[in-house]
Amino acid sequence: MKQALRKILTGLTVLLLFPVVIAIVYEYTRINQNEEHISTVYKEQLETVITSINYYTGDIASNWASRIDLWLMHPSDTAIINRLSKENASIRTIYLSSLDGRGKTVYRSSAEAANDTALASIITSEKEAIEQINSYYDNNYRKFISYPTPTSCIAMLFICKGADNENLVCIIELELQQFLQHHINPRIQAIARDNFLIELLHAPSGTILLRASDQASGVTRYDQEGEMWLFPTVKIGITLKQDTITDLASKKVKEGMLLLGAVLLILIAGIWFLYSSVKKEIKLAQIKSEFISNVSHEIRTPLALISMYAETLEMGRISSEEKIKGYYRTISAESERLNGMIDNILNFSQLESGKRKYKFEVCRLNDICTQIIENYESHFKNNHCDVSFEPSEALPRILGDKQAIAEALINLIDNAVKYSRDNRKIEISTGVDKKMCYVEVKDYGIGIARKDQKLIFDKFYRVSRNNLANEVKGTGLGLSLVCEIIKSHKGKVSLQSKPEAGSTFRLYFPTIPKSKNS
């Protein structure tokens, strides 16, 4: 508790310092307020330029697609395709195909253009993307995607409607450099004028494809960058030709932003630290209160039964031998249950205080499982549980504390028995997975919801969303003990479960190296 209070105090200290820090930052940032505003406007202006170039490129593609749509409505009018290809020298090939890849070339500018096989292979290899743009098209939105072709050109894909109302894939193969020079260059020249330096670059190689400026060489750093939406491999870089106020104020702005960022980080960290600490302590206090209540009830119930049956037997009121034996069995079972609860609490206390000591020795999981099943055979019969064991042959030996491993396994088996419904079947098996031995306990009971699976290993935690889980008594320590024991053995615990479909727990243990395992 003292440690928790120190954490809370630390958080409060951080929060108390904030008004001072914020006041300093506010005064500092006011000095550069105008510069920051101008810088923001400038950045937004450059972003608008990049967006404008992208929209213009998209308009060109949409215009081509519309003209092909028109031709598909009147396929006999070849003049439409001829005009499109004549007015756009960058177009190498126009290829139409059904969605399953059956198609043909309707225009090819030269023998160097990609052949039908190469274009069909793009459709075959990009089925998923084509299905997506086809879905967009069915919802009245035409999307363009592009891919490189074997002829070092760009294949622009989109969906269009055939004469028989069938969706078709259209590929326009174009020579990228020529397209940029013929269509995009006039646009960016008009934007750049004497103010901007705009360059289009091949992003993977950094090669300059187009420059809208009379400057002889490119720049090493742009004020704003973005990609062309239609051609993701093409990057747009833009900056001003002369120094701007951004350059003059950049140092102070960066310092101010760093300071502001640090203040914000401290604020967020302080709030989170304080919130999580208080929340954790409150939750822990609630859980401990519930734990004490549960344990008190758990201990009182078997004690009451033992006391009642012992008193009845002592007074000699039962004459039937069968009933007497039944009373003794109940007393024995409740004593065993009481013992188990006390052992769990004591073991947990030892783990919490770090006083539990393990006796590591070479052992076999199969032997431990066999011994447990034999010892608890009567317990399984009394609970009408069908327990099967499938040991793995030639299972490597492990280094562990037999008693602790047995304790972890018993907790899992006990949970499997308690949380089973009508199908009271438990399967225990061993095996090897990724150089680790494991023992698995599988039941067909109520299962565990996904949101509870990460919490059930927390101390005192019990699932409260299931009626049967509420009816079954427990302390909420069993799985926490299992987790701590496995961690002490440098192993891990896995869980697979679904509500009403049972649960499968696996305990993994490192194997002894072969040189020591012989």
| Same domain membership, residue 439 and residue 386 | yes
The DSSP letter of residue 362 is: E
**pLDDT given at position 475:** 61
Three-class HEC string of 430-491: EEEECCEEEEEEEECCCCCCHHHHCCCCCCCCCCCCCHHHHHCCCCCCHHHHHHHHHHHCCC
Residues 413-422 have a mean pLDDT of 83
Other residues' Cβ atoms within 10 Å of the Cβ of residue 59: 12
Indicate the number of domains in the chain: 3
Cα–Cα distance, 491 to 438 (Å, whole number): 9
Instruction: Tell me the pairing of strands 234-240 and 386-390.
Output: unpaired
| Same domain membership, residue 420 and residue 364 | yes
Segment 239-281, tens digit of pLDDT: 777 655 455 455 555 665 666 667 667 767 776 777 677 777 7
Torsion of CA 104, 183, 163, 96, to 10 degrees: 20
| Same domain membership, residue 478 and residue 371 | yes
Segment 148-200, tens digit of pLDDT: 888 788 999 999 998 788 899 999 999 988 999 899 888 888 888 777 788 88
69 occurs within a structural domain:
no
Residues 494-508 have a mean pLDDT of 89
**pLDDT given at position 470:** 53
Instruction: Tell me the pairing of strands 425-433 and 386-390.
Output: parallel
Q: CA–CA distance from 358 to each of 134, 215, 350, 378, 506 (Å)?
A: 64, 76, 11, 29, 21
| Same domain membership, residue 332 and residue 197 | no
| Same domain membership, residue 496 and residue 362 | yes
**pLDDT given at position 428:** 92
223 occurs within a structural domain:
yes
| Same domain membership, residue 328 and residue 439 | no
Among residues 196, 215, 245, the one where a domain terminates is 245
Segment 195-221, tens digit of pLDDT: 778 888 888 888 888 887 665 555 667
> What do you get for the CA distance between the two ends of the chain, in Å?
50
| Helix segments in 74-146, DSSP class H | 79-87, 116-125, 127-138
Segment 25-52, tens digit of pLDDT: 665 666 556 566 666 777 777 788 889 9
Do 103 and 169 form a contact (C-beta atoms < 8 A)? yes
| Same domain membership, residue 455 and residue 370 | yes
195 occurs within a structural domain:
yes
171 occurs within a structural domain:
no
Mean pLDDT over the full length of the chain: 79
Residues 452-478 have a mean pLDDT of 66
Segment 104-136, tens digit of pLDDT: 888 888 877 888 888 888 888 888 999 999 999
308 occurs within a structural domain:
yes
**pLDDT given at position 507:** 93
Short-list 389, 373, 371, CA closest to 381: 373
3-state secondary structure of 245: helix
Quote helix, strand, coil % in the chain, to nearest 5: 55, 20, 25
For the ranges 102-106, 126-130, 380-384, 490-494, the lowest mean pLDDT is seen at: 380-384
Give the chain's count of helices (H) and strands (E). Answer: 16, 16
310 occurs within a structural domain:
yes
What are the φ and ψ backbone dihedral angles of 376, each rounded to 5 degrees? -105, 15
Q: What CATH number should be reported for the domain holding residue 318?
A: 1.10.287.130
Q: What CATH number should be reported for the domain holding residue 376?
A: 3.30.565.10
The DSSP letter of residue 239 is: E
| Same domain membership, residue 510 and residue 450 | yes
| Same domain membership, residue 372 and residue 495 | yes
36 occurs within a structural domain:
no
| Same domain membership, residue 379 and residue 311 | no
Other residues' Cβ atoms within 10 Å of the Cβ of residue 120: 19
14 occurs within a structural domain:
no
315 vs 472, more confident = 315
Give the domain extent around 465. 358-517
| Same domain membership, residue 321 and residue 419 | no
Calculate what percentage of the chain has a pLDDT beyond 70: 73
| Helix segments in 173-320, DSSP class H | 176-179, 185-192, 245-314
**pLDDT given at position 245:** 45
**pLDDT given at position 257:** 61
Q: Which residues of 302-332 are buried (b: 16+ CB within 10 A; e: fewer)?
A: beebbeebeeeeeeeeeeeeeeeeebeeebe
Q: In sequence order, which residues have a C-beta less than 8 Å from that of residue 461 and are 6 or more positions away? A: 287, 455, 476, 480
Crossing angle of the two packed helices 185-192 and 33-73, in degrees rounded to 10: 160
Q: Tokens 């499997």 — which residue?
A: 416
| Same domain membership, residue 364 and residue 442 | yes
